[in-house]
Amino acid sequence: MHYFLKADYFIMEDELRQGGYLEVKDGHFGNWRPILPAVEPVIPIIDYGKATIAPGLFDTHIHGVGGADVMDGDTTALHRMAALLPAAGVTRFLPTTLTAGTVELLDCCRKVAELIERPMENAARAEGIFLEGPFFTEKHKGAQNPRYFKAPDYAEVERLQQASGGHIVKVAVAAEYPEAVPFLEKLRQAGIHGALAHTDANFEQADRAMKAGGQIFVHLYNGMSGLHHREPGVVGTYLHSEHAFAELIADGHHVHPAVLAFTAQFKPDRTILITDSMRAGMMPDGEYLLGELAVEVQGGIARTKKDGSLAGSTLQLLDAVKNMVMWTTLDLAAVWRMASLNPARSVGMDGRLGSLRAGKVADFLVLTPDMTLQETWLAGRKIWSAEEKTNANQ
């Protein structure tokens, strides 16, 4: 397919451009042009009027949605997740595991590999696996099951990677383990992106782990030692860093909007918006399971029934973007990068994903002037439409 997109605005990689035309050919973006050149033969123009064209969103930390969870060990659940995510503007995602036993994780990795290698039509694409656990410590366990916590073991990652067909792209670890530094170094040598999470490390421990390869701080402020003026902790390690990335859950519950704002404004090109969504995402309030833990959702906030810990979220990534537009002084293009280009950068996929730059895969969204999602396109093909959904429900 070869066509031009016409709209009032385009969220480009570094700025919001008004008007013009964006070429799409064979599932990839061409150049944006202020004026359409004379072409022969005539190439179709899709005119979206006052709409905004934006890059597809990339959720690099998501456990579940629509009643389905990655840890269900069920291809039906994974298919449901992939099918629902385009309605939230997500075109790419990393199915994310929870702390569990090795046998369960092996099975989960095999199932996700099937989804990656045989993607569904009209669905978001899984781009790899994020292994969140079991290499954590108990003080900041959150909704992870401490029964399965263990020291970092690269041999176990190798087994899981073999089961996944090489699709594990991101692994989290608690930085205070003595084994953390050599473990992260081995991940980096293998081309796997290291992350720090559910950790009570001090600044020195976290700094060593970060320099060894732990370049992604998982759901910053949550599940880690906080910032103190005499002990910077894991949070301070990120704020002091130059090149690390930090995930933020921008729902206003996990992190106060003011803290979200100053963190994002301090390092906008290193901030990643995630959902950390569990199976209650896109579902009503009620009782759910997150792994083996009972969770109650009230007012969209998920907490474990045992101790009231926050248990993931029900946030949708497009809503996280809208929240950050409200809560920060950053422009729309800068905020949008946090949910598209920055996530792709954090896992080394920005060469083909994350923006409307020429040569990249043509994942894009069509938004109304009030930022309501109208259409979702993946690789140059429409996979979701609000109008078609409305018609189907009538």
Q: Are 367 and 374 in contact (CB under 8 A)?
A: yes
Q: Greatest CA separation found in the chain?
A: 68
Looking at the annotation, which residues are catalytic? 276
Distance separating alpha carbons of residues 347 and 217, to the nearest angstrom: 13
Using omega within 30 degrees of 0 as the cis cutoff, is the peptide bond preceding 134 cis?
Answer: yes
Report pLDDT digits (tens) over 26-84: 999 999 999 987 766 789 999 999 999 999 999 999 999 999 999 998 899 999 999 99
- What share of the chain has pLDDT > 90, as a percent? 92
Q: What is the pLDDT of residue 314?
A: 96
Cis omega before residue 34 (within 30°)? no
- Is the pLDDT assigned to residue 234 strictly greater than 90? yes
pLDDT in tens, 104-118: 999 999 999 999 999
User: Residue 394 has what pLDDT?
Assistant: 41
Of the candidates 18, 23, 17, 19, the one whose C-alpha atom is nearest the C-alpha of residue 44 is: 23
Q: Does the structure show a pLDDT above 80 at 391?
A: no
Whether domain 2-54+357-393 has CATH 2.30.40.10: yes
Pairing of strands 381-385, 373-378: antiparallel
Q: Write down the domain spans for the chain.
A: 2-54+357-393, 57-346
Whether the pLDDT of residue 282 is over 80: the answer is yes
Give the whole-number percent of the chain exceeding pLDDT 70. Answer: 98
The separation between the first and the last C-alpha atoms of the chain, rounded to the nearest angstrom, is 31
Is 57-346 the same fold as 2-54+357-393?
no
Tokens coding 107: 């099975």
Could you report the per-residue pLDDT of 334-348, keeping only the tens digit for each?
A: 999 999 999 999 999
CA distance 33 to 375: 22
Q: Which CATH class is domain 57-346?
A: alpha beta
Instruction: Give me the phi and psi of 209, to 5 degrees please.
Output: -65, -40
Tokens of 14: 């570094």
At residue 162, φ and ψ (nearest 5 deg) are: -65, -40
pLDDT at 96 over 90: yes
- Report pLDDT for 381: 98
